[in-house]
Structure 1
Amino acid sequence: MKRAQIKIINLGLTLLAEQGQTLGKVLSQADIPVRFECGQKGVCGKCQVKIISGSLSPPDRHEKYFLEFLGLDPSVTRLACLARITQDLEIEIPEESLLQPVKILDKGITTTFPLRPSFRQCFITLDKEKVTSSPAINEAIAREINFPNLVFSLETLNQLGEAVRETPQKLQVTIFQNKEICSIESDSTPSPLLGVAIDLGTTTVVGELINLENGETLAVASGLNQQLRFGSDVVARLYEATSSEARKKSLQRAAGRTINSLLNKLTKRPGISRENIMEVVVAGNTVMNHLLLGLPAHTLARLPFAPVFQALPELNSSELGLNISPWGKVYVAPNIQSFIGGDISAGLLACRLFEKSGRHLYLDLGTNGEIIINDHGELWATSTAAGPAFEGVGLSSGMMATTGAIYQIKIKDVGSSLEVKTIGRGKPRGICGTGFVDLLSIALRQKWIRDNGRITNRQNKIEVRPQVGLGQEDIRKLQMALAAIKTGVKLLMSKLKLDYSELDTIYLAGAFGTELNIHHAMDIGLLPQIDPAKVVFIGNASLAGARCLLLNYPLRKKLTAWVKKIKFLSLAQEKEFQDTFLKSLNLEPFPQKGKKGKYI
C-alpha cells in the first residue's frame, strides 16, 4: 500500500499515512484533538479541514450534500471523517474544528462524614523479645498493631523478611481496611497517604487529590476525556465498543490515559509523588464504568439494556494500568440500573438524599437525563434519552462550554438587540446549553417562535450574532430533548401520585445548572414550574460523592445497600409514554396551575 505525507501547517506536524485511509482515522490515530462529535459518522460537520495543497478523494454523494448544506466549497474545505487520502497533502485544521479547553465544574455540594479511609499507616518497633514470644514474625506484627486477623501476601512477607534482618527495627506498616497488610518498610521517612476522587464524565473529567490522613484537599485538576475522538456521546462510544474487541480495548486504553493524565496534573507540586496515591475512587456513568474496566458493553447497547455489574469490590490499580502506588486500589461507585450509573449514586450520597424525609426531586440534565424522587424514604429512578442537544452537539451554532461560547443571553426591551456573555469574554463562536435555554425563553416571550416551536420570521432563523443563532431544525432537536426530560418527570411523578406543590426540593446536579437561569428553564419546560426557592444547585455532586467514598470506606457498603432498594421505572414500558412525550413537545411551562392554585 502506497504511503502519503500529511502536513498540518498550523500545528507544525507531519504524519505518514496509507493511501485509501480516511483523513479522520489518521488524525485520530495521531491523537490530534479534532471535533469528531458524531464518532466519524459524517453527520455533525464539525471536523472541517482546509486544503492548502494536494487533494483528497472526490466527495461522495453524502459529503457533497453536507458541504452544500453548510455552504462550503469542496475544493477548499472537506470533512476529515469522510475524505480519503490519495496523495501527499498540506492542510490546516481550523480552531473551530479542534477541541478547546472546556469550562469544567470542579466544585460540588459540601457534605461531611467521619474520616475512615481505606488505608492507614502504623509505626511500630519490633524487638527480639516480641519476635521470640510469637509463633511467627507476622504474628508479632499483627499482635503489635492489635489486629489479630491481618492478611499478609507473599510480597509483604518478603518485605517483612528483609525488614527485620536486625532487631530492634522501626517499621512503617500500611494497612488496607484493617484486614490486609499492603507494605512494610523499615527506616523510611514517613510520607502522607494520598487518594484521588474522580468524576469520570463522557466529555470531561475532574480529579481531587486528598490527604487520607486528615481529609485535606491538596490539588484539583480537570481535562477532556480522551475518548472524545470516538464520539461525543455515550451512544457513539457504545457503537464503537460493540463494533470489535480491538475498538473496545482502544476505548479502555483511552479511559486509562485520561485518568493517568489527570494524575500527572494533580502531582505536579514538589514533594507529591504518585507512588503515595493509595486509592482512586471513580464516579462515572454506566457506560464510562464499563469502558474503563474493559467490560462487554453490548448488554447496554441493546436488550436487555442492563449493566453487567451493579457493585464491585475494590480492584488492584495494576489491573487498570493506573500509575499510582504498586499496592493501590480502585473503587468504582455502584451503578443503579440501566443507564443510571455511579455518577448518580455518588451524587445522591453527596446530597444525602437517601437519608432525607419529605419529598425531593433529583435531576441530572445531561445527554442521558437521570431523574430520582425520594418520597418519604421510598426512592424511584428513571432515565430518559435527552440526547446531546443541550450540550451543543448536532446544532448549527452549538458548541461545548469552551472559550467563545455564549452562555448567557438577555434582552432589555421589545425590539432591542440581544445582549450576550461568552466564556472567556471572547468573540462569540457559538452557543452552549445555558445560552440555548435563555434564547428559547426570550424567543417565546418576543413571539419569535410559537409554542409549537415554529419560527415566525421569513428567514426561518433567529440570529444572535452573524452566523450564530437558531434554525428551525435546531429548535426541533431542542424540543425533543426537552420533551424527553419533561416526560420522565411527569411519568415518575404520576407513578408516585405526587402533586408538584408537595415537592420540598429540586436538586439540580451537573455543570449545566451552574449558569442556568431558573425562570427561563421553567418558561420552556426544562424544570417543573414550582417555587424557584426550592431549586438547589449542587454542582459537581458526582465528584463530591466520590470524595465521601474515598474518605469513608464503610459508606461503600451502605451506598450499595441503598442503591439496591431504589425502584426503577422503565419509561418505554409505560402506556402513557408516547402520548405524554408528544404533548410535551410544546415549549411551555409545566405543570399548569389549576383553579385552586395547585400545580397539576
Structure 2
Amino acid sequence: MEGRNNMAPGGTLTVVAEDRVWKLTGVGGRTVLELLVDAGISGFSSPCGGNGLCGKCLVKITEGTAGAVHDDERRLLTPAQLHGGLRLACRMRYDGDADLTITLADTDARSNILTTFNDETVHSTPRRHYHAETYGCAIDIGTTTIVVYLVRLDTRQVIDHRSAMNRQRTHGADVISRIQYAQEHPDGTKTLQHAIVGQLDAMIGDLLTSHGIPSEALGELVAVGNPTMIHLLVGEDTSGIGAAPFTCTFTGPKSIQASEIGFANARHAHMELPGAVAAYVGSDITSGVHAANIMRGGEPVLYIDIGTNGEIVLWDGKRLTGCSSAAGPAFEGAAIRHGLGAVPGAIDHIWQDSDGHIVWSTIGAKDAHGICGSGIVDTMALLLDLELVDETGAMDTTHPNADRYLVASPDGLALRITNSVYFTRSDVREVQLAKAAIAAGAQVLLDAAGLASDDLEGIVIAGGFGSYIDIASAQRIGLLPPVPPSRISVVGNAAGKGALELLMFDGVETQVEQIRTTMAYIELSSSPAFQQQYVSHMYFGEDPDA
C-alpha cells in the first residue's frame, strides 16, 4: 500500500516499512524522526523519545545520501553499522533537496506478546442476557504492548484476539516520555490519542472482518490500562501524572460511547473504563489483582507486575496496599546496549555449560542479534555466579575469570556473549537500578504491614516479562524476595484476563471497583523508607543457594 503526503517542493523522502511505503516531500533542516512523526508514521521504536540516548530508532539508508553523521550516532552505533547504512532517525537530518530512501528497522514489530493467562475462573454468572450473535472486546492497553480479545457475549466464548506493539512507543518507551511529549508539543495529547485509538480501531476491524461480524453486532468494549494510557485514550490532560504531587485528571470509572473518541469500526459500541487507584496504579492492576484472586485466603500474598513501572500490591490477609516503582525500560531491553524486545533472534536464556562455556537460546531458534528481558536477568545472574561483578555492581577485572569472559567492547568493558552481542558495565548499572526499584517497593509494602518475606504465602508474577524470566535468576540478582520457589506462581496476562471477566461476568465490575476504593496507596517518591530501601537493594547479595 502506498500513501503520499506532498508537503513542499524538493526532493522526496521514501520511507519503507514491512507492509507500506510512504513518499514525503518536506522542508530542509529537520530530523527524520520529526518528519516521520509529522507525517503520522508510527509504529517504530524511539524509547528515549528522540533525545539521542538509546540508539534504538534505527533506519537504514537504501538509496541516496543523508546529512553528516551526528556525534550521538558515532557514540551509539558501531563503525560497521554506520558503514552498512544504519542511522538514528532522531539524529539524521534530511535537507529536502535530494531524493532519499530509508527502511524502518523496527525489530520490535515482530515481538512475541503475551496474550495467555491462568484460565482458572471462579465466575459463572453471565453479565446479563444478550441477544444471539452479540459481541464485545476486552482490551489491555500496556505502555509497550496491546491485546484485544473478541468475545461472543451470549455464549461467553473468546473467539479470537490480536496483539501488537503500542504505536505510541514512537514517542518514548515509558509513560514519562509520553507525558513529556504531550506537554512539549501543541497537539501532543491529540497525536498520542489518535495513535492509540486508530490502532485499537484497526485491530478491532481486523477481528470483525476475519470472522464476518458486522460492526453493528459489536456492542461493548472494556479497556484496562495504567492511568496514563487511559488518560491518553480519552484525550485527557496527563501533566498532573508527570509531576509531584502526581494527580490524575480523573480516577473514577468512565462510561462512554466509543464513537465519542474516534472509533469507527467500534462506533456502535459502549465503552467501560474502570477507575484508577492513583497516578501510577490503574485498572490494569485492579483487574489483574481480581483475576489472580490473591485475596481468596487469609495468608499474605504479594502481586508484582514488572514493566517500565513495577506495580506491586500486597494482600496482608485483611487489606490491600499498593505502590508503583519506576523500574524503567531495562527489563524490556530499551536501556540495554544490545537489548531487544521478545523478537525472533533475541537471546532469551543464558547459562554456563559443564566446560565453562557461555551458551544461550534465542526466540525462534534464530541467529542471536540481541538480548531480551529474560536473557538480561540470566546474564546478570551469570555475572554474579562467575564473580565477575561484585556486590556493588562493579566489574572485577582482577578475578581469574575476567580474562576468559570479559572483553573490551566499543562501549567499554563487557561480557562477550556472541561476536556481536555484549553485556556492558553500563548494562549492569541499568539492571541494578531497575531491580533495586522493584525490590525496594516490595520491601516497603512488607515493612508497612509488619511482615517479612518469609511470611508470604505466595508471590504472584503477572505480565509479559515476568512470565518468561527464570525464577532462580530473578532471585539471584535480588529482583524477587528470597522465598522458596514453590511459593512463586506466574499468571500471565492477568490484566487481559481481568478485562475479559469485566466484559463477561456479572458482579466483577463491582468487585474491581471495591478493590480500587479500598486499596491503600503508598507514594514511593516521597517515602524516606523507600529511599533507604532503594539504596540497600542496589547491592547484590550472596547466592541464596550457596
Closer/same/farther in 2, CA of residues 403 and 325 from structure 1, 3 Å limit: closer
Q: Find the residue that maps to 2:479 and give its secondary structure.
A: coil
Do residues 347 (structure 1) and 300 (structure 2) align?
no
- Is the CA contact (8 Å cut-off) linking 2:107 and 2:343 kept in structure 1? no
The residue aligned with 2:379 is 439
Identity over aligned residues, as a percent? 28
Alignment deviations for residues 72-96 of structure 1 (CA, whole Å, 9 cap, x no partner): 386854322122221213244364x
The residue aligned with 1:103 is 112
Do residues 306 (structure 1) and 247 (structure 2) align?
yes
1:103 shift after superposition? 0.5
1:43 shift after superposition? 1.2
Q: How many Å separate the matches in 2 of 1:9 and 1:258?
A: 19
Alignment of 1:29-48 (within 5 A): 29-31=39-41, 33-48=43-58
Closer/same/farther in 2, CA of residues 57 and 331 from structure 1, 3 Å limit: same
Do residues 16 (structure 1) and 38 (structure 2) align?
no
AA partner of residue 116 (structure 2): K
- Is the CA contact (8 Å cut-off) linking 1:366 and 1:386 kept in structure 2? yes
Do residues 478 (structure 1) and 485 (structure 2) align?
no
AA partner of residue 377 (structure 1): K
AA partner of residue 210 (structure 1): V
Q: How many Å separate the matches in 2 of 1:487 and 1:590?
A: 19
Do residues 584 (structure 1) and 537 (structure 2) align?
yes
Alignment deviations for residues 333-356 of structure 1 (CA, whole Å, 9 cap, x no partner): 221112011110110110123443
The residue aligned with 1:7 is 14
Aligned residues: 519
AA partner of residue 438 (structure 1): D
Closer/same/farther in 2, CA of residues 328 and 580 from structure 1, 3 Å limit: same
Do residues 420 (structure 1) and 360 (structure 2) align?
yes
TM-score, structure 2 normalization: 0.89
AA partner of residue 427 (structure 1): D
Q: How many Å separate the matches in 1 of 2:280 and 2:159?
A: 33
- Is the CA contact (8 Å cut-off) linking 1:343 and 1:542 kept in structure 2? yes
The residue aligned with 2:215 is 274
Alignment deviations for residues 168-211 of structure 1 (CA, whole Å, 9 cap, x no partner): xxxxxxxxxxxxxxxxxxxxxxx511111111111111111111
Alignment of 1:149-548 (within 5 A): 191-324=132-265, 326-413=267-354, 415-456=355-396, 457=402, 459=408, 460-548=413-501
Q: How many Å separate the matches in 1 of 2:511 and 2:421?
A: 49
Closer/same/farther in 2, CA of residues 229 and 325 from structure 1, 3 Å limit: closer
Q: How many Å separate the matches in 2 of 1:303 and 1:578?
A: 16
AA partner of residue 573 (structure 1): S
1:592 shift after superposition? 11
Q: How many Å separate the matches in 2 of 1:199 and 1:9?
A: 29
Q: How many Å separate the matches in 2 of 1:590 and 1:346?
A: 35
Q: How many Å separate the matches in 1 of 2:40 and 2:511?
A: 44
- Is the CA contact (8 Å cut-off) linking 2:55 and 2:76 kept in structure 1? no
AA partner of residue 565 (structure 1): T
- Is the CA contact (8 Å cut-off) linking 1:482 and 1:525 kept in structure 2? yes
Q: How many Å separate the matches in 2 of 1:382 and 1:120?
A: 38
- Is the CA contact (8 Å cut-off) linking 1:363 and 1:371 kept in structure 2? yes
The residue aligned with 2:59 is 49
* Alignment gaps of 5+ in structure 2: 1-7, 397-401
- Is the CA contact (8 Å cut-off) linking 2:201 and 2:266 kept in structure 1? no
Alignment of 1:53-64 (within 5 A): 54-59=64-69, 63-64=70-71
Alignment deviations for residues 93-115 of structure 1 (CA, whole Å, 9 cap, x no partner): 364x5543110111112224233
1:406 shift after superposition? 0.7
Do residues 85 (structure 1) and 125 (structure 2) align?
no
The residue aligned with 1:155 is none
Q: Find the residue that maps to 1:465 and give its secondary structure.
A: coil
Q: Find the residue that maps to 2:23 and give its secondary structure.
A: strand
The residue aligned with 1:556 is 509
1:275 shift after superposition? 2.0
Q: Find the residue that maps to 2:368 and give its secondary structure.
A: coil
Q: Which moved more, 1:520-529 or 1:103-112?
A: 103-112
- Is the CA contact (8 Å cut-off) linking 1:528 and 1:590 kept in structure 2? no
Q: Give the superposed CA RMSD.
A: 2.3
Q: How many Å separate the matches in 2 of 1:258 and 1:94?
A: 18
Q: How many Å separate the matches in 1 of 2:17 and 2:196?
A: 28
Q: Find the residue that maps to 1:282 and give its secondary structure.
A: strand
1:403 shift after superposition? 1.4
Q: How many Å separate the matches in 2 of 1:90 and 1:241?
A: 30
Q: How many Å separate the matches in 1 of 2:181 and 2:147?
A: 24
Q: Find the residue that maps to 2:109 and give its secondary structure.
A: coil
1:517 shift after superposition? 0.9
Alignment deviations for residues 387-427 of structure 1 (CA, whole Å, 9 cap, x no partner): 000100121111111111111112122x5222211112111
Q: How many Å separate the matches in 1 of 2:86 and 2:307?
A: 32
AA partner of residue 194 (structure 1): Y
Q: How many Å separate the matches in 1 of 2:171 and 2:506?
A: 34
1:36 shift after superposition? 1.6
Closer/same/farther in 2, CA of residues 53 and 315 from structure 1, 3 Å limit: closer
Q: Find the residue that maps to 2:490 and give its secondary structure.
A: strand
